Amino acid sequence: MSKVTKSPRSKAAAPATSAAVKLHDKQSERDTRELRIDKVGVRGMRFPIQVRDKAHAIQNTVATIGMYVDLPKEFKGTHMSRFIEVLNAHGSVIHVENIRDILLAMQDKFDAATSHLEIEFPYFMVKKAPVTGLESVMDYVARFEAQSCHREVDFVLVVKAMVTTLCPCSKAISVHGAHNQRGEVTVRLRFRKPVWIEDVIAIIEASASSELYGLLKRLDEKAVTERAYENPVFVEDLVRNVALRLNAHPEVTGYKVEAENFESIHNHNAYACIESHRAGKKG
């Protein structure tokens, strides 16, 4: 067996350890423009989360996350990797209950006065068709918007649901039928005690001409079509109907309701918005 000799070129220098190399921290340089940044951070991260499910206790889903802090005027930039460190430090799954801990950890990590956390995710519910009772899965969009100023935390729940709306004017002037369309309703609300995502979805769907389903047989389709025809609503009716139900909710303290109808006979959409900071609280 021949002996292998190593050439001088093969004797590579041992890699330098991170302790032996001092890297310049560009972000920590002083900025001379004297402008504070309100929010700087990362967004578009995908991360597994768990949310409370009214029917099954816990639902696992995947969220798109944004994390931000304020940046004092004297700093040129922030250390983006630290956001990921904070997120991973709270385990492989985010729970709704530790959102406050994440916000405060961000403030401590960056020595920031404010921190912001956005968590948007698909939320799934099993629905039964109105006549046949056949089950199918419907997806909705839910979002948590939380921010901390010093140690005071503000939390907003956002829920989006698609519905059917049938035009009252079209029904009133037409001999046969009426035009209808899908509409998207977005509810942003604050509350004293947590409100179930399912309850917000129920409020939205009850306020429209009809709710949507994943699976409909002919008997179901007939029932849904006739239900919508018997319950025509303008986009204005839709936001008012949702607002009235939120006003009556004992835990809701404020809301913003938006509705957008994707018109079937126009090349534009119809939109309405109603907002209240003290839902149903008169005095």
In angstroms, the CA 253 to CA 34 distance is 38
Across 91-105, 197-211, 225-239, 242-256, least confident range:
91-105
Average pLDDT over residues 60-76: 91
Number of residues that make up the chain? 283
Q: Which domains does the chain have, with CATH numbers?
A: 34-276 (3.10.270.10)
Q: Which of 101, 94, 118 is nearest to 41 (CA)?
A: 118
Across 9-13, 50-54, 87-91, least confident range:
9-13
Taking the CA atoms of 91, 96, 102 and 104 in sequence, report the sign of the dihedral they define. Answer: negative
In angstroms, the CA 206 to CA 198 distance is 12
3-state secondary structure of 204: helix
99 pLDDT exceeds 50? Answer: yes
Q: What is the pLDDT of residue 21?
A: 75
Q: What is the pLDDT of residue 67?
A: 97
Q: What is the CA radius of gyration of the chain?
A: 26
Q: What is the pLDDT of residue 9?
A: 43
12 pLDDT exceeds 60? Answer: no
Q: Which of 45, 252, 274, 39 is nearest to 157 (CA)?
A: 252
DSSP-based helix, strand, coil % in the chain, nearest 5 = 25, 40, 35
3-state secondary structure of 271: strand
**Structure confidence at residue 6 as a pLDDT band (50, 70, 90):** very low
In angstroms, the CA 185 to CA 124 distance is 17
In angstroms, the CA 146 to CA 81 distance is 21
* 149-199 confidence digits (pLDDT tens): 988 999 999 999 999 999 999 999 999 989 999 999 999 999 999 899 999
Task: Give this prediction's pTM.
Answer: 0.85
Q: Which of 115, 134, 135, 116 is nearest to 125 (CA)?
A: 135
Q: Which two tokens stand for residue 230?
A: 């018997």
Q: Which of 228, 129, 126, 243 is nearest to 177 (CA)?
A: 228
**Structure confidence at residue 5 as a pLDDT band (50, 70, 90):** very low
What are the residues whose beta carbons fall under 8 Å from the beta carbon of 93, sequence distance 6 or more?
Answer: 48, 49, 50, 60
**Structure confidence at residue 26 as a pLDDT band (50, 70, 90):** low
Instruction: List the end-to-end C-alpha distance of the chain, in Å, as a whole number.
Output: 98
6 versus 229: the higher-pLDDT residue is 229
Q: Which two tokens stand for residue 71?
A: 């940046």
* 105-153 confidence digits (pLDDT tens): 999 999 999 999 999 999 999 999 999 999 999 999 999 999 999 889 9
* 235-283 confidence digits (pLDDT tens): 999 999 999 999 999 999 999 999 999 999 999 999 999 999 864 444 3
